[in-house]
Amino acid sequence: MAFKTTKNFILGAIVAAASVTGIAYAAGGGVESDYKMEHPDWSFNGPFGKYDMVAAQRGYKVYREVCASCHSLKYVAFRHLGDKGAPFYLADFENPNDNPYVKNFAADWTIEDIDNETGDVIERPGITADYFPPIFPNDAAARASNGGAIPPDLSSMVKARNNGADYVYNLMLAYGSPIPKGVEITPGLHWNPVMDGGKIAMAAPLSEGLVDYDPVEINDHGELKTIAAPEATVEQMSHDLVQFLAWSADPKMEQRKSVGLMTLIYLIILSLLLFLSYKRVWRNVKH
């Protein structure tokens, strides 16, 4: 009963009410297109779902090498990557600031800063405490480089669209679907039936083999294990990206679900005990 939007929730209630009164409702349609939305069975769905960390690690690589030339990730700090429940968490490094992967990733980025001695604007390698830096110095610059559209920040993208994981996944895959008759695509725009209205200022960012996946996997203790790297198909990269962006949108999901489970068990036992107390207190009382 995962109602993804208020509307669905209300609709659900109404359909229930409607079955009584005999009213039927028709779902509204979006853009006319042959594209069929795919709904992968995400590992993080459901009450016990978790992120696929190995995929999320690859997803970080795709973000870093492809999307980061346009999209920022400004609410995420490098240290977050090594938190518990994050893609690069290592059991041996409870403090993510000591995590060697996190340190390396941070150092791989250039951060603008002020030199304390001279007051000059300088550039330095990132440290774990830094947040992912802005990609463009300001909105105007972002617009100027992207045909008038601003590439949105991706930190919470998966939460910022209805059914966000499926949305981002399909957005990546839907490029190249045939343009319906009567639709005009002006230069600088691209046809993508998943986007609201079908026209998007972002060109297809992914193509077969764009990223070289490393044939390694990091285990909990930071050791690298050689594995067969998956092929970097558009589907694979999109899948990995979504695992990473789902984490960045909801970094506390695993903690949330485990605290939730404990809380629910506690509350259900409490309800039972209170029900028994109720029965006992009221046992000789007619009501």
Partner 1 sequence: MSGPSTYEPKYAAAKWMDQRLPIIRMGADFMTFPSPRNLNYWYTFGGILALCLVVQILSGVILAMHYVADVDLAFASVQRIRRDVPFGWLLQSMHAVGASMFFLAVYMHMFRGLYYGSYKAPREMIWILGCAIYLVMMATAFLGYTLPWGQMSFWGATVITGFFGAVPIVGESLQQWLLGGYAVDNATLNRFFALHYLLPFVIAALVGLHVWALHHVGQNNPIGISEKTESDTLSFHPFYTVKDAFAIAVFLVIFAVFLFYLPDALGHADNYIEADAMKTPAHIVPEWYFLPFYAILRAVPSKLFGILLMLGAIVVLFVLPWLDTHKVRSMRFRPVARWFFILFIVMCFILGWCGAGVPDDIAIPLGKDAGITFYRLGQAATVYYFAYFLVILPILGLVETPKKRPDSITKAVLGENHSTAGLAPAE
Q: Find the Cα–Cα–Cα–Cα dihedral 113, 117, 120, 124, rounded to 10°.
A: -30
122 belongs to the binding site for partner 1 (CB under 8 A): no
> Which of 101, 164, 105, 111 is closest to 134 using CA atoms?
111
246 belongs to the binding site for ligand HEC (CB under 6 A): no
Dist. CA 170–CA 192, nearest whole Å: 9
281 belongs to the binding site for partner 1 (CB under 8 A): yes
Q: Which is nearer to ligand HEC, 71 or 103 (CB)?
A: 71
Q: How far is CA 122 from CA 49, 59, 75, 110, 259, in A?
A: 43, 30, 22, 10, 44
**SS3 at position 6:** helix
Q: Which of 37, 107, 160, 229 binds partner 1 (CB under 8 A)?
A: 160
Q: Which of 76, 81, 165, 200 binds ligand HEC (CB under 6 A)?
A: 200
Dist. CA 255–CA 266, nearest whole Å: 17
Binding site partner of 241, from ligand HEC, partner 1, none, Cβ cut-off 5-8 A by kind: ligand HEC
11 belongs to the binding site for partner 1 (CB under 8 A): yes
Site residues for ligand HEC, 30-69, by CB under 6 A, read: 62, 66-67, 69
Q: Which is nearer to partner 1, 144 or 259 (CB)?
A: 259
Stretch that binds partner 1, among 13-21, 52-60, 97-105, 115-123 (CB under 8 A): 13-21
Q: Which is nearer to partner 1, 167 or 213 (CB)?
A: 167
- Residue 41 CB, nearest approach to ligand HEC (Å): 20
Angle, nearest 10°, between helix axes 234-249 and 53-65?
Answer: 100
Angle, nearest 10°, between helix axes 234-249 and 164-173?
Answer: 150
How many H helices and E strands in the chain? 7, 6
* Numbered residues of the known binding site: 67, 70-71, 202
Residues lying near ligand HEC in the complex (CB under 6 A) are found at 62, 66-67, 69-71, 146, 149, 151-152, 157, 161, 168, 171, 195, 200-202, 205-206, 241
